[in-house]
């Protein structure tokens, strides 16, 4: 097996693409996965990463990904990043088809890919290529706090968080870290536009006047720093937000300023 080879899902945009770029700049071999081949090809040309086109909600595609990895040197780190939100409707008014879409990619695809690649992650450790393997998954602060209109996204991300907790227990005793990163507001190009079905004005309003929302690069830096820690150090859960976001729904808009100290 090759040294330090990572698979990054959802590599065609946002956090996934930024993670591929950073891993490549740190000397990792990387396989980026997503559905949009043109975007993946551009990323491959820019970074030298390998790419693989797959819809991770389809078992055949995931099986093909596993077979490709097995035939080309294995994998030591999996970054489950593909995912997203569909709509912001109340529980009462939601279309179950939107929830199905979110569950398919945010929960079931993570299970499919993790289950398919676990044997390869074990092989990477067993053949001495790496000291330990990693399953790093991008959840969300929405995996830990519910909000109005977030029901479907919350349910899917709470679901993947629960799955990761179970997996960490199941893998106890093996040199495989199960890592979860839960970002708050990240200003990426497509996440909110997709959520609001192409309504770019509504998407822009999410970030309006928020002083420095997180960037895809901020999250990528945290992912890469975490997996590059010594193999015995497991940051099980990382919650990261812009400093202007004290809680999921307490976001400051306007310039950050220090307050005058009040006399006690």
Ligand X SMILES: NC(=O)c1ccc[n+]([C@@H]2O[C@H](COP(=O)([O-])OP(=O)(O)OC[C@H]3O[C@@H](n4cnc5c(N)ncnc54)[C@H](OP(=O)(O)O)[C@@H]3O)[C@@H](O)[C@H]2O)c1
Q: Based on CB atoms, which residue is closest to ligand X, 123 or 147?
A: 147
CB distance 104 to 84 below 8 Å: no
Q: What is the DSSP string of 134-169?
A: EEEEE--GGGT---TT-HHHHHHHHHHHHHHHHHHH
Q: Based on CB atoms, which residue is closest to ligand X, 130 or 195?
A: 195
Q: Based on CB atoms, which residue is closest to ligand X, 2 or 35?
A: 35
Q: What is the DSSP string of 33-68?
A: EES-HHHHHHHHHHH--EEEE--TTSHHHHHHHHHH
Q: Based on CB atoms, which residue is closest to ligand X, 105 or 179?
A: 105
Min. distance of Cβ 257 from ligand X in angstroms?
Answer: 25
Q: Based on CB atoms, which residue is closest to ligand X, 57 or 129?
A: 57
Min. distance of Cβ 129 from ligand X in angstroms?
Answer: 26
- Sequence-ordered list of residues with C-beta below 8 angstroms from that of 84, at least 6 positions apart, any chain: 102, 105, 106, 191, 194, 195
Min. distance of Cβ 60 from ligand X in angstroms?
Answer: 12
Min. distance of Cβ 244 from ligand X in angstroms?
Answer: 14
> Which residues are known to be catalytic?
153
C-alpha distances in angstroms, 157 versus 87, 105, 181, 183? 14, 10, 11, 12
User: Which 3 state secondary structure label does DSSP give 236?
Assistant: coil
Q: Please give the backbone phi and psi of residue 120, each rounded to the nearest 5 degrees, phi first.
A: -70, -40
Q: Based on CB atoms, which residue is closest to ligand X, 94 or 194?
A: 194
Residues in contact with ligand X by CB under 6 A are: 9-16, 34-36, 39, 54-57, 81-84, 105, 138, 140, 183, 185-186, 188, 190-191, 194, 216
Min. distance of Cβ 7 from ligand X in angstroms?
Answer: 12
Other CB atoms within a 10 A radius of the CB of residue 168 amount to: 18
CB distance 195 to 14 below 8 Å: no
Instruction: List b or e across 181-209, with b for residues whose CB sees 16 or more CB atoms inside 10 angstroms.
Output: bbbbbbbbeebbbbbbeeeeeebeebbee
Q: How far is CA 248 from the centre of its chain?
A: 18
Min. distance of Cβ 189 from ligand X in angstroms?
Answer: 6
């Amino acid at each position: 097996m090759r040294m330090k080879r990572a698979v990054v899902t959802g590599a065609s945009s946002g956090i996934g693409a930024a993670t591929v770029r950073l891993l490549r700049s740190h000397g990792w071999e990387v396989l980026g996965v997503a559905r949009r081949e043109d975007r993946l090809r551009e990323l491959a040309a820019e970074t030298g990463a390998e790419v693989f086109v797959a819809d991770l909600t389809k078992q055949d595609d995931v099986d093909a990904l596993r077979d490709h990895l097995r035939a080309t040197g294995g994998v030591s780190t999996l970054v489950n990043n593909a995912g997203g939100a569909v709509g912001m409707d109340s529980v009462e008014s939601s279309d179950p088809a939107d929830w199905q879409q979110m569950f398919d990619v945010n929960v079931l695809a993570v299970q499919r890919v993790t289950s398919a690649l676990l044997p390869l992650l074990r092989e990477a450790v067993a053949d001495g290529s790496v000291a330990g393997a990693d399953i790093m998954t991008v959840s969300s602060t929405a995996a830990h706090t519910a909000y109005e209109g977030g029901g479907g996204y919350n349910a899917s991300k709470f679901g993947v968080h629960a799955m990761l907790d179970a997996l960490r227990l199941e893998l106890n005793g093996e040199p495989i870290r199960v890592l979860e990163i839960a970002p708050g507001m990240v200003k990426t190009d497509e996440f909110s536009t997709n959520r609001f079905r192409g309504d770019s004005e509504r998407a822009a309003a999410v970030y309006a006047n928020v002083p420095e929302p997180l960037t895809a690069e901020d999250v990528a830096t945290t992912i890469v720093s975490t997996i590059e820690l010594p193999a015995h150090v497991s940051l099980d859960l990382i919650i990261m937000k812009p400093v202007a976001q004290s809680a999921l729904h307490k976001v400051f808009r306007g310039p950050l300023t220090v307050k005058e100290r009040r006399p006690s």
